[in-house]
Amino acid sequence: MLRGPGVVTAHIGVVTFPGSLDDRDAARAIEIAGADAVPLWHGEADLRGVDAVILPGGFSYGDYLRAGAISRFAPVMGRVIEAANSGMPVLGICNGFQVLCESHLLPGAMIRNAHLHFVCRDQGLTVENSGTAWTRAFTQGQRITIPIKNQDGQYMADARTLDEVEAEGRVVFRYAGGNPNGSARDIAGVTNAVGNVVGLMPHPEHAVEPGFGPDSVEGGRTGTDGLGFFRSALETLMAKA
Amino acid sequence: MTSSQSGGSTSASADQAPIDTVANAAATPDQEQPYAELGLKDHEYATIRDILGRRPTAAELAMYSVMWSEHCSYKSSKPHLKQFGEKMTDAMRKHLMVGIGENAGVVDIGDGWAVTFKVESHNHPSYVEPYQGAATGVGGIVRDILSMGARPIAVMDELRFGDIDHPDTARVVHGVVAGVGGYGNCLGLPNIGGGALFDASYQGNPLVDALCVGAMRHEDLHLASASGVGNKVVLYGARTGGDGIGGVSVLASETFDEGGPAKRPSVQVGDPFAEKVLIECTLDLFKAGVVEGIQDLGGAGLSCATSELASAGEGGMRVTLDLVPLRDPTLRAEEILMSESQERMMAVVRPDKLKAFQAITDRWDVEIAVLGEVTDSGRLVIEYRGEVVVDVPPRTVAHDCPVYDRPYTRPAWMDDIQADSASSLKLPEDGEALKETTIALMGSPNLASREWVTAQYDRYVQGNTAMARPDTVGVVRVDEETGRGVAIATRANDRYTKLDPYEGARQAVAAAYRAVAVAGAEPLAVTDCLNFGSPEDPDSMWQFAEAVRGMADACRDLSVPVTGGNVSLYNGTGEPGRVDSSINPTPLVGMLGVLDDVARATPSGWRESGLGIYLLGTTRAELDGSRFAELSGHLGGRPPVVDLEAEAALAGALVAASREGLVGAAREVAEGGLAAAVALGALRYGVGARITLDEVATRDDLTVAEAWLSESQGRAIVAVEPMGEPRFVEMCAERWVLAARIGETSGSGAIEVEGQFTLPLGVLRVAWEAPLQERFGS
């Protein structure tokens, strides 16, 4: 999609909480995908007119309590929850996924990785639902590689919730080539009933630029599978407009 | 060990305790003081009395004792370290914006960008409490970089542990790795490299050397000084607690009654979240132009920050200690001055900018306290409860520590150890034996995969990492528009340095220089971390003196300035005079190189078959101190010869070939020799290699095993596209670099050494990945 003076594009907000780490990276990914990145501040109950919101990775408030448990009460989150409930595309990456679960916008919760270590690696994922606002640029069953890096990434929910989520096709990604953290049923990401809110542990914003992404068949650090997330949002928003 | 804070139940006695004021000190000249327990010698204490014209107060004694410690004052190392300045040429100053003496050196990397980088040790705390020791080591070096006005952009860590199979090693490994990761990951700094090695000499004395690099525009450079009379002295960040007080607790127990708080933990406790907020807040403060100078609080806490800021500025400062926000109200004046509580900074702020300053700290929910102001009195005056408890010339605290020319002599055991050459070891005699040796070598603890360690570090955050593990050099982009960036390599070979400290230090410089050039970057500057035994032991002092001389000579010969660093002495627990009294001397070199575009950084392994593999440089039969010798537990002889002219020529060829796009992949040939270089080049992307050793062996007059295992310096292997081979060979010849075509990359999935063996990469990978994984878990 073209950008420049006079070219209409989507505005995607990125929330910075104290302890957010990948906020500038998410903003960079948005710009690379051709949209406009708008910084949002945790302490301001204002979405500044954005069309979509990303809650980025990091250790908000240090994650000394449950990951995401404090951020969920930030002033900006009231607005995010309202907007999500009225259909705005919202993506939670890693810590952002944890915040979405704590906000009850997504089912389940994350606990400490099964092996108890922080893990950083290039992670294979299978796209299980290419119908959400953030995955429509992918094909069903597509295998992609996205870096993962977290300490509290083990996705958990009671069996009934998991069955429901599965039955409704709300598992968006599953780990492929090894489960890095012990997540239930290899679940890496889920969506809400409508498909506008998506959360996942891996970091798509770190697979958008050749030379700085995961290893791919093209060569070292050339993987750009993450671009699909941001292009999907753009397509979703442009289709609406 | 736990590091819980002692409770506040004894605060009543602290409140009632008499305060040792300046007036009291003048009135009671004969009161005995526990200076010896604080580490001060008789004559040092006498010097302090001379400076002040009276006995020091308890608070002053605490300040002098910690600022005059080896760690803060460099009193034993200074006479040697000055060589880094003396041997610096004008050519070396060309890119140097700030040299030794500031919080960190600053280097001009072009296009208006400057980079600041430094490595620092946190060895002793990491043995006592591995997680917090390592975590706060990372935190401390990051604040040094931040205080220069730079945004920290990456960290690296060089770790040394005891014998991999010693029962205590796992405790230290788990704690240190989790600590480095836990702190760095939570700060949002990519970890782009380093090392983790094992040797029995580090048992009870692990090394944790953390490096941080930061970037800024030239105009954003800030130096720490308290200038401008009337400017406010502001402490901001975390509250001050009882952590890291350590030795100073003797003041409480000796000077005052026994009813004081219980013994304090001597290891600091880190809060990376607080530091992350502090980083963003400080960068906003710099950007808004509301600070005159900023100093981080690290070792020696407020004592260090106030005395260094004051002596670098107008020379005077007046501070009220009661205003320091405390998280433990029972702390005494001298404890507040000594506390090494983490995540604190001190700023000098013009009164008219204080409001703007506070608006920024409020936005980040960072607590501040205006402690006092800059004066032109030439004195650092500290008040507590309405009384003056410190009144000293700040320079005498920060800079005028007595300096020692410690005696040193070549250890008696050097002759024996140098005479015990590895030539006594049996070399593999046929292809099968050579294959088994290759597998054993790659599966030995010091050549095995570090994946278990590095998988615990975030290498992606900030989105600018062009190279990190398992590549041997870290590369980060600085300018997102042009791709300009830096490459950093850290190197130290403790085994070579044990055999010959002068040569070992030269080798460390050469190896780091070569590594940066292998990545295609122009080497620019050095930071160093000198880890040695006790300066009071003439043997280890000799190792130190020799190593510094070697490092300074090598830096001069390769024209790369030392910009700053750190010295860690007293790394030894053995009886002096023995061959194993101290750790293997470990002069760590961090080399910074610049790349006009990080996209050009040379991959450390080949991705396709059919590339020509060239060995650059000359191989000699050099196995003393090698990883091959280590397989038999052997350490003796003379380390490999270091020829710095050859290194410079090699680096020139590597950088030029990279610029012309001729290099498909390259690796330094270093520890583990050609065997390790070929193995790791193949394992990187799982593409094999067919190698012929006969020609090189004949040319250099070696056996095949020597050609494969020798650790001769000044060598690299380079994989070159067939089309580019003639030009590549020509470029090497122009620079007088020997280039031998020793084979090609192959799709066979194996390393085949002609006439010797075929080793499937799958077999090699299993051996290579096992050692750390098996011992330290999933």
pLDDT digits (tens, 9 = 90+) for B111-127: 999 999 999 999 998 99
Over residues B224-230, the mean pLDDT reads 83
- Any bridge partners for residue A123, and if so which? A146
Q: How far is A149 from chain B (nearest CA, A)?
A: 6
User: A180 to chain B: nearest residue by CA?
Assistant: B778
- The total of other beta-carbon atoms located within 10 Å of residue B43's CB is 9
User: A21 to chain B: nearest residue by CA?
Assistant: B188
Over residues A53-77, the mean pLDDT reads 94
B191 pLDDT tier (thresholds 50, 70, 90): very high
pLDDT at B103 over 80: no
% pLDDT > 70, chain B: 95
> What is the length of chain A?
241
Of the candidates B273, B461, B480, the beta carbon closest to that of A61 is on B273
Exposure of B429 by Cβ count < 10 A (0-12 exposed, 13-18 middle, 19+ buried)? exposed
Write out the CATH class of domain A2-240. alpha beta
The pair of structure tokens assigned to A239 is 């289709």
User: B465 to chain A: nearest residue by CA?
Assistant: A212
User: B279 to chain A: nearest residue by CA?
Assistant: A19
User: A149 to chain B: nearest residue by CA?
Assistant: B458
The pair of structure tokens assigned to B671 is 């520890």
Q: Please, what's the b/e burial string for B439-457 (b: 16 or more CB within 10 A of its CB; e: otherwise)?
A: bebbbbbbbbbbebbbbbb
Q: Which residues of chain B lie closer than 8 angstroms to A57, CB-CB?
A: 461
Could you report the per-residue pLDDT of B705-764, keeping only the tens digit for each?
999 999 999 999 999 999 999 999 999 999 999 999 999 999 999 999 999 999 999 999
What single letter denotes the amino acid at residue B580? Answer: D
Q: Please, what's the b/e burial string for B605-619 (b: 16 or more CB within 10 A of its CB; e: otherwise)?
A: bbbeeebbbbbbbbb
pLDDT at B226 over 80: no
Rounded Cα distance between B237 and B305, Å, is: 14
B224 pLDDT tier (thresholds 50, 70, 90): confident
Angle at B365 between CA B362 and CA B369, to 5 degrees: 70
What single letter denotes the amino acid at residue B664? Answer: G
Q: Which residues of chain B lie closer than 8 angstroms to A119, CB-CB?
A: 455-456
- The total of other beta-carbon atoms located within 10 Å of residue B252's CB is 24
Could you report the per-residue pLDDT of B28-44, keeping only the tens digit for each?
999 999 999 888 999 99
If we measure between CA atoms, which residue out of B708, B696, B694 comes closest to residue B759? B708
If we measure between CA atoms, which residue out of B325, B362, B319, B331 comes closest to residue B344? B325
Q: How far is B511 from chain A (nearest CA, A)?
A: 24
Could you report the per-residue pLDDT of B512-553, keeping only the tens digit for each?
999 999 999 999 999 999 999 999 999 999 999 999 999 999
What pLDDT, on the 0 to 100 scale, is given for residue B3? 34
For the ranges B250-259, B444-453, B646-655, the lowest mean pLDDT is seen at B250-259
Rounded Cα distance between B479 and B236, Å, is: 30
Could you report the per-residue pLDDT of A220-238, keeping only the tens digit for each?
899 999 999 999 999 999 8
Q: How far is B156 from chain A (nearest CA, A)?
A: 15
A7 pLDDT tier (thresholds 50, 70, 90): low
The position carrying tokens 């050397």 is B209
DSSP string, A120-169: EEEEEEEE--TTSTTTTTS-TT-EEEEEEEESS-EEE--HHHHHHHHHTT
Q: Measured over all CA atoms, what is the biggest interatomic distance in chain A, rounded to whole angstroms?
A: 51
Of B95, B122, B222, B634, the catalytic one is B122
What pLDDT, on the 0 to 100 scale, is given for residue A6? 52
Answer yes or no: B122 catalytic. Answer: yes
Rounded Cα distance between B514 and B473, Å, is: 10
Residue B208 near residue B180, CB atoms below 8 Å: yes
B265 pLDDT tier (thresholds 50, 70, 90): low
The pair of structure tokens assigned to B202 is 């580090």
B1 pLDDT tier (thresholds 50, 70, 90): very low
Cross-chain Cβ contact A149/B599 below 8 Å: no
The end-to-end CA distance of chain B, in Å, is 24
Over residues B347-353, the mean pLDDT reads 96
Cross-chain Cβ contact B456/A120 below 8 Å: yes
ipTM of this complex: 0.95
Rounded Cα distance between B241 and B437, Å, is: 54
Rounded Cα distance between B529 and B20, Å, is: 38
What pLDDT, on the 0 to 100 scale, is given for residue A231? 96
Answer yes or no: B43 catalytic. Answer: no
Average pLDDT score over chain B: 93
> What is the length of chain B?
778
Phi–psi pair at B349, nearest 5 degrees: -130, 135
Greater confidence, A200 or B265? Answer: A200
Average pLDDT score over chain A: 94
Q: Which residues of chain A lie closer than 8 angstroms to B185, CB-CB?
A: 59, 118, 149, 151
Give the distance, in angstroms, between the CA of residue B461 and the centroid of all CA atoms in the same chain. Answer: 21
Which sequence positions of A are flagged as catalytic?
Answer: 94, 203, 205
Rounded Cα distance between A156 and A165, Å, is: 12
What single DSSP character describes residue B711? -
What pLDDT, on the 0 to 100 scale, is given for residue B247? 53
Chain B interface disruption, residue of A61, A149, A209, most B CBs within 10 A: A149
The position carrying tokens 């407009």 is A241
Note if the pTM is more than 0.90. Answer: yes
What pLDDT, on the 0 to 100 scale, is given for residue B246? 61
Over residues B164-186, the mean pLDDT reads 97
Q: Which residues of chain A lie closer than 8 angstroms to B607, CB-CB?
A: 219-220
Q: How far is B521 from chain A (nearest CA, A)?
A: 16
CA–CA distance from B551 to each of B272, B299, B528, B529 (Å)?
A: 34, 26, 9, 11
Chain A interface disruption, residue of B284, B343, B461, B602, most A CBs within 10 A: B461
pLDDT at B673 over 70: yes
| Positive or negative torsion for Cα A152, A154, A156, A162 | positive
What pLDDT, on the 0 to 100 scale, is given for residue B248? 55
What pLDDT, on the 0 to 100 scale, is given for residue B2? 33
B469 pLDDT tier (thresholds 50, 70, 90): confident
Domain boundaries, chain A: 2-240
Q: Which residues of chain A lie closer than 8 angstroms to B271, CB-CB?
A: 62
Residue B566 near residue B530, CB atoms below 8 Å: yes
Of B71, B80, B95, B634, the catalytic one is B71
Cross-chain Cβ contact A219/B778 below 8 Å: no
pLDDT at B255 over 60: no
If we measure between CA atoms, which residue out of B338, B387, B333, B334 comes closest to residue B21? B387
- Any bridge partners for residue A15, and if so which? A40
Q: How many CB pairs under 8 A join A and B?
A: 95
Strands (E) across chain A are located at 11-16, 36-41, 52-55, 90-93, 109-111, 119-127, 143-150, 154-156, 171-176, 187-191, 197-200
Cross-chain Cβ contact A62/B186 below 8 Å: yes
Alpha helices in B147-225 (DSSP H): 169-187
Q: How far is B277 from chain A (nearest CA, A)?
A: 6
Chain A interface disruption, residue of B275, B284, B458, most A CBs within 10 A: B458
